[in-house]
Structure 1
Amino acid sequence: MSEFDSNPFVDPLDINPFQDASITQATSGAPKNVGEFNPFSATEMGTHSGTTIPISAATSQPAILPTSVEQSAQQANVAAGQANLLKQQEELERKAAELERKEQELQNRTGGRALNTGDKENNWPPLPKFFPVRPCFYQDFEGEIPEEYRRICKRMYYLWMFHSATLFLNVLACLAYFTADSQYGVDFGLSILWFILFTPVSFVCWYRPVYKAFRSDSSFSFFFFFFVFFFQVAVYVIQTVGIPKWGNSGWIASISMIGTNLAVAVVMMVVAGFFTVNAVLAVILLKMVHSKYRRTGASFTKAQQEFSTGVLTNRTVQTAAASAAQGAFGN
């Protein structure tokens, strides 16, 4: 029991671990000039003066490869971006085309093309080349009339053609009227006169003015058209009524022939219907032209200015005025 006789509270023997024989032998052989290593000393900083490599340049590979879901999402985002860019490009091209069209229409409205019509060869009426009479007017709806006025201008042209056809049919109906009753020969003669006279006069006096008005936005042409076409509507009404011996196969003249010759009465009623359609279409187109006219910004003041400018710059008027002045001073 000797191990139990020792006092546990007595300090144990102070043993230095570095006094071990193996450690002492290892440390005794170390070189004497080895000092403490300091990485921040001037000597160490001089020996390691190379540039540092950034972390981003150290590797170009991600630590974790993207999954297939992330790749699909990235591809979808790229495709959506490309589609958006294409849509924006198409929108820009559409707006550019719209601006170019509006600019072209503005040039047409201000007379940009109207100034060059004198250099173009007349193409109306469309006559064969061997015909001795040459065309007197130039007409091109696609090239001269702006798109917003093109339809109404064509309708006015179709109305003039229908008007001319009605006058020709009126000659045939009045001829039948004359054959049925010889006292109505005056109607046949006047119908020929109306056809020869009103066909070219209507073209020059109300169709060409409205064509010029839509072509160059001319206030004077608009006012001239309204003034003449109002009388044309009144003439349509008179022709529809058909007063006997006025040269018109209207309703009164056709109804009066029912008891005498039914076949002639039917032919005259057809022409009376044509006159009625002319009157109705004329009223409708007059209102349509007036609505277009209100959008163009034309006015009576502008019409006066255009008339004054046209008169002062007209060579015929200038020559006549000069001749009158010379005659006055000569006397």
Structure 2
Amino acid sequence: MSGFDSNPFVQSVDVNPFQDASIAEATSGGLETRDEFNPFSGDGLGSSKTIPISAALSQPAVLQASVETNPKSVAAAGAASLAKQQEELEKKAAELQRKELDLQNLAAGRGLPLSERVNNWPPVPRICPIKPCFYQDFEEDIPEQYRKICIRMYYLWVFHCVTLFLNVWACLASFITDSGNGVDFGLSILWFFLFSPVAFICWYRPVYKAFRSDSSFSFFFFFFVFFFQVAVYIIQTVGIPNWGNSGWISSISMIRVSVAVAVVMMVVAGFFTVNAVLAVILLKMVHSKYRNTGASFTKAQTEFSQEVMANRSVQSATASAATSAAQGMFQRN
């Protein structure tokens, strides 16, 4: 109640706030006390321990400077990127070209490109006016798994030519002994000069190309022609009179005229028999190899159409036919 008894109108005593004991003690410490004062300390005014800023701030705010895009720098970077891509493309193109040349050299044989290949078959002397017409190299052209069968086909063709040559001499001996066998002698000469190159071109070279380039069209062409060749071998082995072949029938019928000539003709008949047997065996072997190559009739049709369309003669004939048809349509209109 003493607070209510005091007179508010009595002049109050001036109070100096700096006369407080705690404030006087704080101000009387001097510079040393003020230097030790850490407003961030948790121990009070006299604490000398400080808290590191890295501990106080776990994730400091970082202000990233804004980068202004310069059109010139962007254009320079784009040009450098395009130049690098162009350089990579040129390297890839050069590598592809090198691989293509390597494949051409491998297909050409002896490391020569296709344009520089020199025909080496038949092996004729240089002084001969007739030059080689074909290129043949089993080691370079034919893969190893097909090389033996291809060489055997070549030897069959050589044996085929030798048999036809011996057939000419046997028919000549028959003609000398019996003048009525002149037809056989004339036809034997024709068969030798006709069937020797035809056999090389029509069934040996196709099988060579088939094994060299894995061509389905060459395989089918070989099978078609060689089937008729086997039939011809059988006919020659039989030896029908006046057909130009010293087969078994012709040689046996010659016994009553001349035994010596009959023996010679029987030898030739045996050669024809061996040709027929080898042809059948090799045909089966080629067919087994053909099944392992992955060739098919569809691939043969595709290869044939590509070769036909790539032929310049066919292209010129097609262009002339199309031109004639167009002119006829315009004339009608």
Q: TM-score, normalised by structure 2?
A: 0.65
Residue 285 of structure 2 aligns with which residue? Answer: 288
Q: For 1:161 and 1:111, how far apart are their aligned partners in 2?
A: 29
1:185 to 182, 185, 206: 182
Equivalent position SS for 1:113:
helix
By relative contact order (CA 8 Å, sep 6+), the higher-ranking structure is 1
Q: For 1:198 and 1:181, how far apart are their aligned partners in 2?
A: 26
User: What amino acid maps onto 1:160 in structure 2?
Assistant: W
Which runs of structure 1 show a deviation greater than 6 angstroms over 4 or more consecutive aligned residues?
none
**Cα distance 1:111–1:251, how it changes in 2: closer, same or farther (>3 A)?**
farther
2:237 to 240, 250, 261: 240
1:223 to 200, 220, 245: 220
| Structure 1 residue 317, shift from structure 2 partner | 1.2
- Listed as ranges, the gaps of 5+ residues in structure 2 are 1-98, 329-333
1:113 to 102, 107, 112: 107
**Cα distance 1:299–1:268, how it changes in 2: closer, same or farther (>3 A)?**
same
Q: For 1:236 and 1:230, how far apart are their aligned partners in 2?
A: 10
Deviations 1:207-251 (CA, angstroms, capped at 9, x unpaired): 000000000000000000000000000000000000000000000
Residue 147 of structure 2 aligns with which residue? Answer: 150
Q: Which moved more, 1:139-148 or 1:317-326?
A: 317-326
**Cα distance 1:207–1:196, how it changes in 2: closer, same or farther (>3 A)?**
same
**Cα distance 1:236–1:255, how it changes in 2: closer, same or farther (>3 A)?**
same
| Structure 1 residue 118, shift from structure 2 partner | 4.3
Q: For 2:178 and 2:255, how far apart are their aligned partners in 1?
A: 12
**Cα distance 1:228–1:111, how it changes in 2: closer, same or farther (>3 A)?**
farther
Deviations 1:100-141 (CA, angstroms, capped at 9, x unpaired): xxxx9xx97x99615944431000011111111111100000
Residue 15 of structure 2 aligns with which residue? Answer: none
* Contact 1:114-1:216 within 8 A present in 2 as well: no
Q: Report whether the alignment pairs 1:277 with 2:249.
A: no
Q: What is the root-mean-square deviation in Å for CA atoms of aligned residues?
A: 2.0
| Structure 1 residue 326, shift from structure 2 partner | 3.4
User: What amino acid maps onto 2:255 in structure 1?
Assistant: I
1:141 to 130, 135, 138: 138
Q: For 1:245 and 1:295, how far apart are their aligned partners in 2?
A: 43
Q: For 2:119 and 2:289, how far apart are their aligned partners in 1?
A: 27
* Contact 1:117-1:138 within 8 A present in 2 as well: no
1:163 to 154, 160, 163: 160
**Cα distance 1:112–1:313, how it changes in 2: closer, same or farther (>3 A)?**
farther
* Contact 2:106-2:140 within 8 A present in 1 as well: no
| Structure 1 residue 316, shift from structure 2 partner | 1.8
1:57-68 alignment runs, 5 A limit: none
Q: Report whether the alignment pairs 1:262 with 2:256.
A: no
Q: TM-score, normalised by structure 1?
A: 0.65
